[in-house]
Amino acid sequence: MVRVTRGNLASTLTVAGQFQPYQQVDLHAKVSGYIRHINVDIGDRVYAGQVIATLEVPELNAQLAGAQAEVRHSQSEINRAKSQVAGAKSSHAALHDAYMRLAQAAQQRPGLIAQQELDDALAKDQNSEASVDVAKAALEATEEQLGVSSADKQRVQALSDYSVVTAPFSGVITKRYADTGSLIQAGTASNTQAMPVVQLAQSDMLRLRMPVPEADVPYIEDGGTVQVKVQATGKDFTGKVIRFARALDPTTRTMITEVDVANPTLELSPGMYAEAIISLQQRKSVLTLPIQAVVQGDSQSYVLALDSSNHVQKKIVTLGVQGADKVEITSGLTEGQLVIVSAQANYQVGQPVSPKFESVSMPSEVGGK
């Protein structure tokens, strides 16, 4: 026999979760070639930017040498074009000065200089000026060609740099697909035949993924408390809900929920299972009863309570949040009422009983009179 009491209650959900790497990727080469060196093996810890493998791509080296030579050729052409511009400017200056002197003399002493000679000097002056413009245009074209050559060199250089495969983030090598001498195809497209070099996983931070049933999805929220027990290591810790999918898997009718778990010593391994207890609903100062005191009928729940004269009565109750060992009573009972905890089938409505209080954790039957 127990009394209806007020207390705080929290419902929980116990699910099996699995640890996943925080991020994981298969590393491909962006150019085709043979592996000259592979510097890592499974289980190796690597850091961001570390060289994983180096490819041998002879034709790419030849292309890079050709692109570099084209850049040097363009630079030489620019120097030659600059010299031509300088020569054209000097020639134009000399011819322009000669024409100006003749024109000044003809103006001061009309008839001294023949008109034909003035016309020839003017034509040479204008022609030399046009030569300067031509030389400048040739210089601009050569500079543009240098830009084209430099861009091509950068393209080939970038491809050459791709012959060195580096780690995009710090982590652990979990798979090695190739060895020295293996031919690696360029992984520039979704090509299933392109073999990756290694698989890299970030394991110093793990994601604990838990499937939450559809009925409990409305109670999942960011920052929710999660008690985690890892049976493989015997460790327990408390985490918080960091993210959830906000969509149900149509096959399992569950929603993936994640907790981030720091793993600096790599004590936990991806693929391990853990028992997760997720806190769902929190209720404060509500009417509660032990779960075993509630009888589930065909369409409703009820309890066997005692009236003021200690006779058994059947009380229809409405249930709220259900905790590990207690349940919330939202209607049907009042605080302090006496309720039979167990063996309800031994009692009849209207039967007088002698109340005997027992521990809630170990309820005993109440004998009738």
What pLDDT sits at residue 346?
85
Question: Is domain 1-22+207-369 given the CATH code 2.40.30.170 in the classification?
Answer: yes
Identify the band that residue 361 occupies on the pLDDT scale cut at 50, 70 and 90: very low
Query: Which comes out higher in pLDDT, residue 320 or 16?
Result: 16
pLDDT tens per residue across span 200-215: 999 999 999 999 999 8
Give the rounded percent of residues in the chain with a pLDDT score beyond 70. Answer: 95
Q: Quick one: fold of 29-57+163-196?
A: OB fold (Dihydrolipoamide Acetyltransferase, E2P) (2.40.50)
Give the number of other Cβ atoms within 10 Å of residue 95's Cβ: 20
Q: What is the pLDDT averaged over residues 265-280? A: 92
Asked if the model's pLDDT at residue 229 lies above 90, the reply is yes
Asked if the model's pLDDT at residue 78 lies above 60, the reply is yes
CATH 1.10.287.620 boundaries in the chain: 60-161
Q: Nearest CA to 330 among 340, 339, 317, 341?
A: 317
Kindly report which listed range (53-57, 151-155, 214-218, 255-259) carries the lowest average pLDDT score.
151-155
Q: Are 180 and 53 in contact (CB under 8 A)?
A: no
pLDDT tens per residue across span 172-203: 999 999 999 988 887 665 555 678 999 999 99
CATH 2.40.30.170 boundaries in the chain: 1-22+207-369
Query: Which comes out higher in pLDDT, residue 177 or 110?
Result: 177
What pLDDT sits at residue 193?
64
What pLDDT sits at residue 159?
79
Rg of the chain taking only CA atoms, in angstroms: 44
Fill in the DSSP letter of residue 214.
Answer: G
Residue 171, burial from CB neighbour count under 10 angstroms (0-12, 13-18, 19+) = buried
- Please state, in angstroms and rounded to a whole number, the distance separating the CA atoms of residues 117 and 112: 11
Q: How many residues does the chain have?
A: 369
Give the rounded percent of residues in the chain with a pLDDT score beyond 90. Answer: 37
Phi-psi region of 181 (alpha: psi -120 to 50; beta: other; left: phi over 0): left
Mind giving me the DSSP string for 321-359? Answer: EE-SSEEEEEES--TT-EE--S-GGG--TT-BB------
Q: Quick one: fold of 60-161?
A: Helix Hairpins (1.10.287)
Asked if the model's pLDDT at residue 366 lies above 50, the reply is no
Q: What is the pLDDT averaged over residues 83-92? A: 90
